[in-house]
Structure 1
Amino acid sequence: MAKVNTKEEAKDVSKIVPEFDKSKQIKSLASYSLLGRSGLRVSPLAFGTGTFGDAWGAHWTTNKEDAKKILGRYLEAGGNFLDTADSYQSGQSEEITGELLREISNRERVVIASKFTFGTHPGDPNGGGNGRKHMIEAVNASLRRMGTDYIDLYWVHNWDTMTPVEEVMSSLNNLVQSGKVRYIGLSNPPAWYLGRAQTIAELRGWEKLAGIQMQYSLAVRNIEHEYVDAAQELGLGIVPWSALANGLLTGKYKIENNKVTGEGRMASTWVTDPFMDATTPQMINLVEVLKTVAKELGRTPAQVALNWVTNRPGVSSTIIGASKLSQLEDNIQALEFDIPEELLTKLNEASKPPLAYPYFFHEGTLQEGVKATTEVNKFRRGYNNPR
Structure 2
Amino acid sequence: MNQYFLLGRSGLRVSRLALGTMNFGTGGFHAAYGKSADEARSLFRRYLEAGGNFIDTADFYTAGESETILGGLVAEAGVRDRVVLTTKFTNSVDHGDPNAGGNGRKHMIRAVEASLRRLRTDYIDLFLLHTWDRITPVEEVMRTFDDLTRAGKIRYAGLSDVPSWYAARAQTLADAHALAPVVSLQLPYSLLDRTIEREHVPMGQTLGLGITAWSPLGSGFLTGKYRQADRGVTGEGRLSGEGYAGRSWTDREWRLLGALEEVAAEVSRPMAQVALNWVANRPGVASAIVGASSVEQLDGNLAALDFELPGESRRRLDEASAEPSASVYQMFTPGYQSWLVSPGVQVADKPDGYVPAVRNWVPESAA
Aligned equivalents of 1:111, 1:243: Cα separation in 2: 20
Aligned equivalents of 2:143, 2:335: Cα separation in 1: 44
Q: Does 1:96 align with 2:69?
A: yes
Aligned equivalents of 2:206, 2:248: Cα separation in 1: 32
Assess, with a 3 A threshold, how the Cα gap between structure 1 residues 100 and 278 changes in structure 2: closer, same or farther.
Answer: farther
Q: Which deviations, in whole Å up to 9, do the C-alpha atoms of 1:143-195 show, x marking residues without a partner?
A: 01111111000000000101111001001110000000000111011111111
Assess, with a 3 A threshold, how the Cα gap between structure 1 residues 249 and 199 changes in structure 2: closer, same or farther.
Answer: same
Q: Secondary structure at the match of 2:285?
A: coil
Find the counterpart in structure 2 of residue 182 from structure 1: 155
Is residue 256–residue 279 contact of structure 1 (8 Å, CA) maintained in 2?
no
Q: How does 1:1-387 map to 2 (within 5 A)?
A: 29-55=1-27, 56=29, 59-270=32-243, 279-373=249-343, 375=345, 377=347, 384=354, 386-387=356-357
Q: Indicate the larger mover: 61-70 or 201-210.
A: 61-70
Aligned equivalents of 2:289, 2:350: Cα separation in 1: 37
Q: Which deviations, in whole Å up to 9, do the C-alpha atoms of 1:57-96 show, x marking residues without a partner?
A: 6542112222111110100110000000001011000000
Aligned equivalents of 1:378, 1:200: Cα separation in 2: 32
Aligned equivalents of 2:153, 2:51: Cα separation in 1: 25
Amino acid at match of 1:30: N
Is residue 205–residue 355 contact of structure 2 (8 Å, CA) maintained in 1?
no
Aligned equivalents of 2:106, 2:355: Cα separation in 1: 42
Distance apart, 1:366 and its partner CA: 2.5
| Matched residue count | 355
Aligned equivalents of 2:266, 2:22: Cα separation in 1: 33
Distance apart, 1:365 and its partner CA: 3.7
Structure 2 gap ranges (5+): 358-367
Aligned equivalents of 1:164, 1:58: Cα separation in 2: 33
TM-score, reference length from structure 1 = 0.88
Q: Which deviations, in whole Å up to 9, do the C-alpha atoms of 1:274-307 show, x marking residues without a partner?
A: 99x5611011111111111111111100000000
Aligned equivalents of 2:316, 2:133: Cα separation in 1: 38
Distance apart, 1:385 and its partner CA: 5.6
Assess, with a 3 A threshold, how the Cα gap between structure 1 residues 379 and 110 changes in structure 2: closer, same or farther.
Answer: closer
Assess, with a 3 A threshold, how the Cα gap between structure 1 residues 89 and 353 changes in structure 2: closer, same or farther.
Answer: same
Aligned equivalents of 1:270, 1:61: Cα separation in 2: 16
Aligned equivalents of 2:328, 2:279: Cα separation in 1: 25
Find the counterpart in structure 1 of residue 360 from structure 2: none
Aligned equivalents of 2:10, 2:248: Cα separation in 1: 36
Aligned equivalents of 2:293, 2:334: Cα separation in 1: 45
Q: Secondary structure at the match of 1:210?
A: strand
Q: Which deviations, in whole Å up to 9, do the C-alpha atoms of 1:101-123 show, x marking residues without a partner?
A: 11124201000000000111111
Assess, with a 3 A threshold, how the Cα gap between structure 1 residues 67 and 384 changes in structure 2: closer, same or farther.
Answer: closer
Amino acid at match of 1:113: T
TM-score, reference length from structure 2 = 0.93
Is residue 30–residue 61 contact of structure 2 (8 Å, CA) maintained in 1?
no
Amino acid at match of 1:176: T
Q: Secondary structure at the match of 1:93?
A: helix
Assess, with a 3 A threshold, how the Cα gap between structure 1 residues 45 and 380 changes in structure 2: closer, same or farther.
Answer: closer
Aligned equivalents of 1:116, 1:36: Cα separation in 2: 20
Find the counterpart in structure 2 of residue 24 from structure 1: none
Distance apart, 1:386 and its partner CA: 4.0
